[in-house]
Amino acid sequence: MKDRGLLIVLSGPSGVGKGTVRKAIFDNYSNDFDYSISMTTRKKREGEKEGVDYFFRTKEEFEKLIEEGGLLEYAEYVGNYYGTPLDYVNKTLDSGRDVFLEIEVQGALKVRGKMPEAIFIFLSPPNLDELESRIVNRGTDSDEMIQKRMKKAVEELKLIQYYDYVVQNDTVVNAARKIRNIIESEHLKVVRNLKDFTEIIEEME
Amino acid sequence: MKDRGLLIVLSGPSGVGKGTVRKAIFDNYSNDFDYSISMTTRKKREGEKEGVDYFFRTKEEFEKLIEEGGLLEYAEYVGNYYGTPLDYVNKTLDSGRDVFLEIEVQGALKVRGKMPEAIFIFLSPPNLDELESRIVNRGTDSDEMIQKRMKKAVEELKLIQYYDYVVQNDTVVNAARKIRNIIESEHLKVVRNLKDFTEIIEEME
């Protein structure tokens, strides 16, 4: 029997470039993990396939699933639901494959509560030292606007404490490589390999 | 102030190729960590330099250091002492640099007791499935010899439980790359970066 796969959650502040980094990971590496397919109530677009791009469901079906606790996390966006189906994630993990989830920070916190054994990676803005001056020096903004954006940035950065790893998105290539390394290293942890060794040892004894 | 460096301990069964892998790591990467310099009572050889190849000490000096608890671990080998000076390791770690230690399993266990926060990597033989048949099928050995070697292999493999990571030495290049990735990933852990983020957040608030 194969060991259960790892759930990898990539998240971080809005606008930090999560989608671009995730795409680089999936385009440039032959990965032995699956990108989690989301469920949505929005209409299927030309060329999109059920179970490939999304799991397409009606609003009623989606809300039933929410009630049954069948979603790892979900959110509403311009009148449509988007979420991660728990059943799909569990089946993939049970088959021994890793699942890669790229979601907003609020969703990531929910996943942390439900699947604490997952690996949480926080993608942080580059040049942290310059973050403050970049927010202040945009020029066109009112003081009130600056205060608001600063407050949001602080709130998002504070969430880092709920994560296992932090990767600065200095370049997409660097960030993707580091995330790939984290996943590989996690698989090398002794706790995830003890079973194999115990079997060999018992055979030899 | 820089964060304290990491102590990385590479160990594994005798004959597994620890030295070769360590050499590959230091030859092929521009590392931001130092290889721990051992202390010895053996005579300095032609071309060897104090504080570069070894710290050369008399038997009396070495034994005084043992008594004072000044060695992280030590062993006696053909009449000479070899050991890791605690003071040198601590000073390097305090300066913010990582220290890389490649030692025998018995020494590694001692270090685990004294520095539990270190990262312990077990280099395991390749083709674990074939380990048993390789020991049995050497042809020339007596049954007694086979039993003895099997027992030793089992004892060494059992030590894996005291380590954080396990890397199979399938090829030197692969093993070196994986160990390099483990060290990089450990530095990306949130617990090792919280201070930087806390400072930025306090500044922005």
Q: What is the CATH number of the domain that holds A131?
A: 3.40.50.300
CB proximity A136 to B under 8 Å: no
Query: Does any domain span residue B41?
Result: no
- pLDDT, mean over chain B: 89
How many domains is chain B partitioned into structurally?
1
Range with lowest mean pLDDT among A41-50, A92-101, A191-200, B85-94: A191-200
Q: What interface predicted TM-score (ipTM) does this complex get? A: 0.87
Give the mean pLDDT of A21-32. Answer: 80
* pLDDT tier, A80 (very low <50, low <70, confident <90, very high otherwise): very high
Query: Does any domain span residue B199?
Result: yes
Residue B185 to residue A181, Cβ atoms within 8 A: yes
Query: Does any domain span residue A131?
Result: yes
* pLDDT tier, A140 (very low <50, low <70, confident <90, very high otherwise): low
Q: Which residues in chain B have Cβ-Cβ distances shorter than 8 Å to A122?
A: 190
Q: Which residues in chain A have Cβ-Cβ distances shorter than 8 Å to B163?
A: 190
Query: Does any domain span residue B121?
Result: yes
> Which one of B129, B166, B193 has the shortest CB-CB distance to A190?
B166
Cβ(A159)–Cβ(A101) below 8 Å = no
Query: Does any domain span residue B51?
Result: no
**Domain span at B199:** 7-36+98-204
With a pLDDT cut of 70, the percent of chain A lying above it is: 95
Give the mean pLDDT of B61-68. Answer: 96
Query: Does any domain span residue B58?
Result: no
Query: Does any domain span residue A170?
Result: yes
Q: What is the pLDDT of residue B182?
A: 97
Q: What is the pLDDT of residue B140?
A: 65
Residue A182 to residue B185, Cβ atoms within 8 A: yes
Q: Which residues in chain B have Cβ-Cβ distances shorter than 8 Å to A193?
A: 160, 166
Query: Does any domain span residue B65?
Result: no
The answer to whether B13 is a known ligand-binding residue is: yes
Residue A200 to residue B132, Cβ atoms within 8 A: yes
Which CB contacts under 8 angstroms, 24+ apart, belong to A181-186?
A: A181/B181, A181/B184, A181/B185, A182/A119, A182/A121, A182/B185, A182/B188, A183/A6, A183/A8, A183/A33, A183/A98, A183/A119, A184/B178, A184/B181, A185/B165, A185/B178, A185/B181, A185/B182, A185/B185, A185/B186, A186/A6, A186/A119, A186/B185
CA distance B137 to B139: 5
Q: Which residues in chain A have Cβ-Cβ distances shorter than 8 Å to B178?
A: 184-185, 188
Q: What is the pLDDT of residue B166?
A: 97
